[in-house]
Amino acid sequence: MARNILVVIGSPRRNGNSAALAKQVAAGAKEDGAKVETIFLQALNIQPCTACDACRKKLKKDCIIKDDMKALYPKIKAADGIVIASPIYWFTVSAQTKLFMDRWYALGGDDGYALAGKKFAVALAYADADPFSSGAVNALRTFQDAFNFIGAEVVGTVYGSAWKAGEIKKNKALMDSAYELGRKLAGA
Ligand SMILES: Cc1cc2nc3c(=O)[nH]c(=O)nc-3n(C[C@H](O)[C@H](O)[C@H](O)COP(=O)(O)O)c2cc1C
């Protein structure tokens, strides 16, 4: 059961559409008794991975970059459920989300990834009505491959179309699905 859940929002819009979906997932998880912490990536200083490989040379050491990932790594390790919420930017995840994901590299080593066995849920928002032409499918495919690679489990995904910040809340069926995904994640 995912009782300790980290919700990571990769949109620069605090009250945007992916954040609205993430809030619903969090509400569903809390309803099921899970402890939920939400992280807003835009507010953090997260530098790109420099491929220095220090994390691999000194096994069991975290990334040597001194930025806000230092505080996030322990939270990621402690979580048993992780929700990634992202807008679609240029036919895939936002840069904020991608920077965060690249830094997962430091959680890997010869004995696999510290993310192995964790339960993930994904929430995506995009403007185009079609998940294919919006690029949402590219993001979903990225998550599918990444979770498969690190040995994590995808509990579910929610995604839908909206343009203006918060507009997605009008899509009641989607908001309900996001809430149910939170409950599913907490019970998974
Ligand atoms: C820089 C930028 C790039 C975007 N690229 C796409 C895109 O490739 N496909 C799409 O359907 N929508 C695109 N959009 C629209 C956003 O995905 C859409 O407004 C979404 O609802 C934003 O989610 P948010 O409110 O969580 O930030 C883009 C928006 C911006 C600002």
For residue 116, the CA-to-ligand 1 centroid distance in Å is 30
Measured distance between the N- and C-terminal CA atoms of the chain, rounded to whole angstroms: 5
Question: Which CATH class for the 4-187 domain?
Answer: alpha beta
CA distance 85 to 131: 16
Flag whether the pTM goes above 0.75: yes
Q: Give the ligand 1 atom nearest the CA of 167.
A: 21
Q: Which spans in the chain are helix H?
A: 17-31, 54-57, 69-78, 95-102, 136-150, 172-187
**Chain segment 38-53, per-residue pLDDT in tens:** 999 999 999 999 999 9
Q: Which residue ranges make up each domain of the chain?
A: 4-187
Neighbours of 169 (CB within 10 A): 16
Mutate to test the pocket of ligand 1, among 126, 159, 161 (most ligand atoms within 8 A of CB): 126
For residue 18, the CA-to-ligand 1 centroid distance in Å is 10
Please name the residue whose Cα sits nearest to atom 9 of ligand 1: 134
**Chain segment 89-129, per-residue pLDDT in tens:** 999 999 999 999 999 999 998 788 999 999 999 999 999 99
pLDDT of residue 56: 85
Tokens of 12: 């620069």
Tokens of 94: 């936002």
Least confident piece of the model among 79-88, 103-112, 159-168, 172-181:
103-112
Helix (H) or strand (E) holding 36: strand 35-40
pLDDT at 59 > cutoff 60: no
